Amino acid sequence: MIDYSEPGPLTGLDDVPPDAFSGLPVDDVVGICLPVHELLVQPGDAEALGLPQERFAENRIRPARQLFAVLLGMDPSPLVDPRPPQQRVVGTCRHFALLACALLRSRGVAARVRCGFATYFQPGRALDHWIVEHRADDGRWVRLDPEILGGTVLDHPDDLRPGQFLDGAQAWQAYRRGEVDAATFGVFGTENFGPAEIRGNLVKDLAAVNKVEMLPWDEWGRMTGLRRRDRPRLRRPARRRRRRPAGRRHVRGRGPAPRPSRARGAGRPALRRRQGRPAEADRPCRAVL
């Protein structure tokens, strides 16, 4: 059984200075996640701010400890202190969810990142999104969106209602049952919509619940390209048979014996003369009256 209160390979914070957590609550889930929305800036907003091009490589950072290293390198103040957008790490919704999950696990809270689709950003569309969920005292998994926490997008971003966010498994099952239109599921601002996006988030969500929070554009296995029946078929070059030299005989102990040649009529009973009896073909035909 997976212990979600312990950090995974991408959510460990052992290298983060203890002073960075000063003022961070211990047992208040919302209070632990609240600073996250002021620690990161989306690439689109970073471009509008005119940040240097090399800063955009920050959204390819995987471990949370490296994200905090970049953040504290720009401003070593505690995480609860507000930061201007120019001093935030450039990241996607996956990074918001990862940092929130890492902070919750550092406080001993069972939490995990979920990859799926949010229905509250654009009416009629389910957009690619990442959130975090934590286990409540009653055993229920409560879903929380740290990116919009403290904002006005939803009234209760700390407790998402059913249907507001579909994880990869829920979206895939709904699509297979014919309950949703796959053309409405995809990535905002792109043409990437359809079953392939649902299938991709299904695999990334499976990895996330196993404590491996990949980047949004990571692909492997069935996430890459088309299904087998939809892939173009490549013609393989014909294999040339090696002919044995005429008269070459097999010597026992020196490799496999050659296959017997299938001459015309092969597979029929051998016509041999045994003990002086004529072969079957030489015997006179008897009519049966």
Q: pTM for the complete prediction?
A: 0.77
Decide: 5 and 110 in contact? Cβ < 8 Å.
Answer: yes
Q: What pLDDT band is residue 219 in, cutting at 50, 70 and 90? A: confident
Residue 75 contacts by C-beta under 8 Å, 6 or more apart in sequence?
A: 81, 83, 87
List, for residues 64-74, the tens digit of each pLDDT value.
999 999 999 99
Q: What contacts 24+ positions apart, CB below 8 Å, involve 57-63?
A: 58/89, 58/90, 58/91, 59/90, 59/91, 59/92, 59/95, 60/215, 61/89, 61/91, 61/95, 62/10, 62/213, 62/214, 62/215, 63/9, 63/10, 63/11, 63/12
- Which residues on adjacent β-strands are paired with residue 255? none
Q: What pLDDT band is residue 101 in, cutting at 50, 70 and 90? A: very high
pLDDT of 236 above 70? no
Percent of the chain with pLDDT over 90: 73
Domain ranges of the chain: 18-213
List, for residues 140-187, the tens digit of each pLDDT value.
999 999 999 999 999 999 999 999 999 999 999 999 999 999 999 999
Dihedral angle computed from the Cα positions of residues 49, 50, 55 and 60, in that order, rounded to the nearest 10 degrees: 60
